[in-house]
């Protein structure tokens, strides 16, 4: 009986100790914050950038990377590897590829993207029978937006062209999410240019090119971000007006200049008349000053035309002769 009692007491103590450990583990789990999971197959995070709009794309890529190979896929891969081993060293010319420093290679094995994302720069290995790859240029690319005939908000037709600078920052997404990122970016730039300039009047189009370029850059960058494309800069190159509009604006500017010239001439005449009136008042107070003015005039004439002789006659003398 004592032995049975000792065994039951030991079991009771062990059960209490296990229950206490279980409660401590539950408290520890409640204190830890919940961890965020990526993907549906428990794989590691591949290229997560923290943006909610890219979460679906990244999950899809992870599903492809961590999906299991079928029996047929494994057999084809084994056969391809066997062929490479048999034909060594000639097969190395087909298996070893090189990409430049500014390039990345996206490898598809039996239609699936290989884990690890894009390869490069440098040397990488492919299976000739089951793999194919696409090179992606990471350098900044520039292109001209064709001239767009745009109707402004004040019903004026203008032709506007621009230049766009962009680069690819995610090679895998630029291949999987869009058929041709370069062509799509070009078409979107032309459409965005028309949409933004359609909300501006002619004066804003001519004067606020910096704000228009900045608005285009933000719009294009937000639209091309899911494609793995970063729009770095947009510049409006030229704004061409119709010939009739150019003539009308030239006539308006010429009329404004003529009106301004007439106002300036009238102000000059007004100031000259006031100066002449003040001079006449001074001469009227001192008649001898008129003779001095005659002498100054003779000096000025003799300096330019020496063959001309002028005899000034006082008006009073002429009036006396005429009266007789």
55 vs 207 pLDDT, higher one: 207
Residue 51 has pLDDT above 80, yes or no: no
Calpha distance 295→293 (Å, rounded) = 5
User: Which of 114, 87, 118, 123 is CA-nearest to residue 104?
Assistant: 118
Calpha distance 47→169 (Å, rounded) = 11
Query: Across 169-305, where does the E strand assignment appear?
Result: 229-240
Tell me, what's the pLDDT at 40? Answer: 33
Residue 37 has pLDDT above 50, yes or no: no
Tens-place pLDDT, residues 223-267: 999 999 999 999 998 888 878 877 887 888 888 888 999 999 999
Residue 182 contacts residue 141 (beta carbons within 8 Å): yes
Query: How many CB atoms neighbour CB 301 within 10 A?
Result: 13
For residue 282, count CB atoms less than 10 angstroms from its CB and return exposed for 0-12, middle for 13-18, buried for 19 or more. exposed
Separation in Å, CA 295 to CA 126, 286, 308: 108, 16, 15
Phi, psi of 157 (to 5 degrees): -90, 125
Tell me, what's the pLDDT at 310? Answer: 63
Residue 227 contacts residue 178 (beta carbons within 8 Å): yes
Tell me, what's the pLDDT at 80? Answer: 86
100 vs 4 pLDDT, higher one: 100
Tell me, what's the pLDDT at 64? Answer: 45
192 vs 297 pLDDT, higher one: 192
Separation in Å, CA 103 to CA 112, 115, 135, 169, 308: 20, 18, 6, 11, 90
Tell me, what's the pLDDT at 162? Answer: 93
Residue 27 has pLDDT above 60, yes or no: no
Residue 41 has pLDDT above 90, yes or no: no
Residue 45 has pLDDT above 80, yes or no: no
User: Which helix (DSSP H) or strand (DSSP E) does residue 271 occupy?
Assistant: helix 243-285
Q: Which of 5-9, 229-233, 316-320 has the highest mean pLDDT?
A: 229-233
Largest CA distance in the chain: 178
Tens-place pLDDT, residues 160-196: 999 999 999 999 999 999 999 999 999 999 999 999 9
Tell me, what's the pLDDT at 100? Answer: 92
Tell me, what's the pLDDT at 312? Answer: 63
Tell me the percentage of the chain whose pLDDT exceeds 70: 72
Calpha distance 138→164 (Å, rounded) = 16
3 vs 164 pLDDT, higher one: 164
Residue 311 contacts residue 302 (beta carbons within 8 Å): no
Calpha distance 78→71 (Å, rounded) = 11
Tell me the percentage of the chain whose pLDDT exceeds 90: 28
Tens-place pLDDT, residues 192-216: 999 999 888 888 888 888 899 999 9
Q: Rounded to 5 degrees, what angle do the CA atoms 195, 198, 204 make?
A: 120
Please tell me the least confidently modeled range out of 31-45, 114-128, 267-281.
Answer: 31-45
């Amino acid at each position: 009986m004592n032995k049975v009692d000792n065994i039951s007491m030991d079991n009771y103590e062990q059960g209490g100790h296990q229950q206490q450990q279980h409660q401590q583990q539950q408290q520890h789990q409640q204190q830890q914050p919940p961890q965020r999971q990526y993907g549906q197959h428990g794989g590691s995070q591949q290229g997560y950038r923290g943006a909610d709009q890219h979460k679906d794309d990244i999950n899809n890529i992870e599903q492809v990377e961590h999906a299991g190979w079928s029996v047929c896929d494994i057999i084809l891969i084994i056969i391809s590897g066997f062929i490479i081993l048999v034909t060594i060293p000639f097969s190395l010319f087909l298996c070893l590829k090189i990409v430049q420093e500014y390039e990345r290679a996206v490898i598809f094995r039996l239609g699936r993207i290989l884990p690890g994302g894009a390869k490069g720069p440098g040397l990488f290995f492919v299976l000739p029978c089951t793999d194919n790859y696409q090179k992606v240029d990471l350098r900044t690319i520039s292109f001209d937006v064709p001239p767009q005939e745009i109707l402004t908000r004040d019903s004026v037709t203008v032709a506007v062209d621009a230049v766009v600078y962009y680069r690819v920052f995610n090679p895998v997404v630029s291949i999987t999410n869009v058929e041709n990122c370069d062509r799509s970016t070009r078409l979107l730039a032309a459409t965005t240019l028309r949409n933004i300039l359609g909300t501006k009047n002619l004066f804003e189009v001519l004067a606020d090119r910096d704000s228009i370029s900045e608005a285009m850059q933000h719009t294009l960058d937000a639209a091309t971000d899911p494609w793995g494309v970063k729009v770095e800069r947009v510049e409006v190159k030229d704004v061409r007006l119709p010939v009739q509009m150019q003539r009308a604006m030239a006539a308006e500017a010429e009329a404004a200049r003529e009106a301004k010239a007439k106002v300036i001439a009238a102000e000059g005449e007004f100031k000259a008349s006031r100066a002449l009136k003040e001079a006449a008042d001074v001469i009227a107070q001192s008649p001898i000053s008129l003779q001095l003015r005659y002498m100054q005039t003779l000096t000025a004439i003799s300096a330019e035309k020496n063959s001309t002789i002028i005899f000034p006659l006082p008006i009073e003398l002429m009036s006396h002769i005429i009266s007789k």
